[in-house]
Structure 1
Amino acid sequence: MRIGLIRHGETDWNATGLLQGATDIPLNSRGLDQANDAAGLLVGQGWSHLYSSPLSRARTTAEIIGQGTGLGAPTLLPGIIERSFGELEGQKYWMPDGTRRPLDHPSIEPTGVVVERSLAAIADVAAAHPDEDSLVVCHGSVIRLVLTSILGAQAPHIGNLALSILRPGADGGLIVTLLNGYPLVPTP
């Protein structure tokens, strides 16, 4: 069993460096092209099921992948919706001095809540398809926080349409075998 986590294609807010969060921003033309390209690369790779966040940028990406791979329409998975950035949504994520905006505002969804709900949704997918491979199209912050939780170390920025793959580990938990498109050697 593999669970592939894929970030949605580009939006205008991605391109201009704005925090999107739960704001429902559609794909731009580049994002649509990226989704079509990803679908072509995923054909014949053994994926059996397709899930998506309900936000349109992820759902549209998943629909394009589903059509291009023959997986059909995605099943919506609300537990993997993007982290809410509260009052900071629509704000630049880079400060004028070049540093990343601090995400400590009280209106932002806490990291622990995002990880808990996302891992629960991923566990539901794994339980529904223990012997098959599933793709989950979601969001950069969700993927990065899930990977950080599993790895026990800070995961890198997740690019649009980057694929990360989770597999069951010997201890019953999940291990990361592909991180943001880069293979990882499982630790014994």
Structure 2
Amino acid sequence: MSTLIQAPFWFLRHGETDWNAQNLAQGNVDIPLNAHGIAQARRAAAALVGRGIEAIAVSPLGRARQTADIAAATLGVPVEIVPDLREVAFGVEEGRPMGAWFTDWFAGRATPEGGEPFGALRVRACLALNRVLAVERRWLVVAHGGLFRAVRAEMGLTAAVRTANGVPIFCLPPTAAGETWRLLSPAEVDQWAAGTPAADGAG
């Protein structure tokens, strides 16, 4: 059973950086958004208008804070920095190409030297999200792809799915025993709200 607080929230991975475009592991290296990433953040913010978002919780890393600041300016809501929403540390692999080591990491088989084990990240991510969700607001959480793999695992979903940069995901908790969380795109949220069945569009 998921240990996450059973409350809906929006999640947004930061916009693209040059290292994302080059498929390099960023981890805790603070790479800024590139022009495409800024445009992605603006599109995401526009897609979130009218969704009832009341506050933004964000990783302290610059690429996430840039994304959150763009969303906050559009939505007119406050931003709270949550240190434990930072991306996982990849140790010696930071700045190097993503490869088989990354699959081994999120499968729990190996951790790069100086890196954070996937199991430890799951605990950290869950505790950080629970501190946010314990405050009864409609939250937008702006953070990172590696961290969201850990969140997915806590939700009972596969960690072997890449979260796209700058694409909002509505995280909907289970409504009955035996169900898992559902991850919906803005369009799927509209279908769901209208009573039309929607798939788990975020994978």
TM exceeds 0.5? yes
TM-score interval (norm. to shorter): 0.7 to 0.9
Aligned counterparts of 2:113 and 2:176: Cα–Cα separation in 1? 36
Alignment-derived partner of residue 161 in structure 2: 156
Gaps of 5+ in 1: none
Q: Please, which of 125, 128, 134 is the counterpart of residue 127 of structure 1?
A: 134
Aligned counterparts of 2:93 and 2:86: Cα–Cα separation in 1? 17
Deviations 1:82-102 (A, max 9, x none): 00001110000147xxx9675
Q: Percent identity of the aligned residues?
A: 34
Q: Is the contact between residue 148 and residue 155 of structure 1 (CA under 8 Å) also seen in structure 2?
A: no
Instruction: State how 1:1-188 maps to structure 2 within 5 Å.
Output: 1-72=7-78, 74-94=79-99, 102-103=104-105, 104=110, 105-129=112-136, 132-169=137-174, 175-178=180-183, 184=199
Report how many residues are paired: 178
Aligned counterparts of 2:173 and 2:141: Cα–Cα separation in 1? 16
Deviations 1:124-157 (A, max 9, x none): 111112xx31000000010112112212533411
- Give the partner amino acid of 1:116: V
Aligned counterparts of 2:14 and 2:134: Cα–Cα separation in 1? 24
Q: Is the contact between residue 5 and residue 137 of structure 1 (CA under 8 Å) also seen in structure 2?
A: yes
Aligned counterparts of 1:175 and 1:164: Cα–Cα separation in 2? 15
Shift of 1:184: 4.5
Shift of 1:34: 0.6
CA 1:178 to 1:101, structure 2 compared with 1: closer, same or farther past 3 Å? closer
Gaps of 5+ in 2: 1-6, 189-197
RMSD: 2.5
Q: Is the contact between residue 158 and residue 180 of structure 1 (CA under 8 Å) also seen in structure 2?
A: no
Shift of 1:158: 0.6
Give the stretch that moved more between structures: 144-153 or 101-110. Answer: 101-110
- Give the partner amino acid of 1:177: R
Deviations 1:9-46 (A, max 9, x none): 00000000100000111000110111111111111111
